[in-house]
Amino acid sequence: MRIKQVKINGIRGFYYLEDSPHIIELDGKHLFLYGENGTGKSSFLDAIEWCLTGEVEESKTRRVDKREFLINKFCDKKDAPFVEIIYVHNGQEESFCRKVNSKTKFVFEDLAGDHFIDTKRIENFVIDTKQSLWDRFSTLLGFEDLIEFDRRLRKLKNTAEKKYQEITEKLRQQEKELEGLENRMAELRGKFKDSVEEDLEIKLNEEENRSRSERFKKLQEFIINLDGIIKELEEKMNLDEKLKEYKSKLANAQEMITEVEISEVVNTAYEYFKKTEEVTTCPVCGQPIEYYDVLRRLENLKENLSKIINLKSEIRKINNSIEQKQQSLLETAEKVKNLYFHLYKKELTLHA
């Protein structure tokens, strides 16, 4: 809110004029009061403070009755001294009038007190570190929004602290109740031991330990089998890689020789050319040939043929090993699933 106008009549240094109260306009951006002592500066501020808050700190400081402090000494008993303010709040112009003998309350009365600093408190401000004085001084500097935010924050903090204390107290009570229940349970347990069997708890503990031991063995067996699956999977992966490598080699070898079925012909021709040197014509078609060129090609064909035969043999072995590993994995996986179900009573899904 922002005060636009103040009307004062019969308060402090302002005489009472029935139809013509003293009017002070506050439409400017700033207000400066200046004048010699006794010209009404303090009276003006006291009047505004009383109108907005219903109190005057100066009267409390002097220990003077508030009514006696406020009413101008030239007022008659029939006069009705008052202070009226015209202010703007949320864009709307409103007014409030406080009379000496009236008990009306200003709508912002609880907040207005933070906007006044009496003389002695101003004098002591430099050595007083109380937060309330700083708030008032900050308000005078135009930090209303900041002060309002801080006020609400403190209020929320107080509310939170109060709530925390309430919750803490409830927890403390619940802890006491729980402690009482635990004591009661201990008492009942003692009576149960006396009336039924003193070593019942020992037997129960033994049974529980035995159950834990069996569970541990099952879990250990589960882990061992799981490790077995991991190792066999790794071996299978290695075999798959090796098979892939041999197949690649086989494909490369097959690219170098068109038909494996000519192995016997190749061997026979190689033996023939090896024993018979300086052959100049083909024994099959009679065409002229280069002896050493044909011998070299036959050697290459024989070598590639040997590689193909060896690779096929290795591939058969690897395929047999993979089949065995696959079967072993299936059997181990079945064991793991059974152990898992026994331990957790849930089905375990394993993907090969």
pLDDT of residue 270: 65
pLDDT of residue 339: 75
Residue 15: DSSP 8-state:
P
pLDDT tens digits along 114-171: 676 655 555 554 444 555 656 555 655 556 676 677 778 888 888 888 888 888 888 8
pLDDT tens digits along 233-274: 777 787 878 878 877 776 666 555 544 555 666 666 666 666
Straight-line distance from the first to the last Cα atom of the chain, in angstroms, rounded to the nearest whole number:
77
For the whole prediction, is pTM greater than 0.75?
Answer: no
pLDDT of residue 259: 47
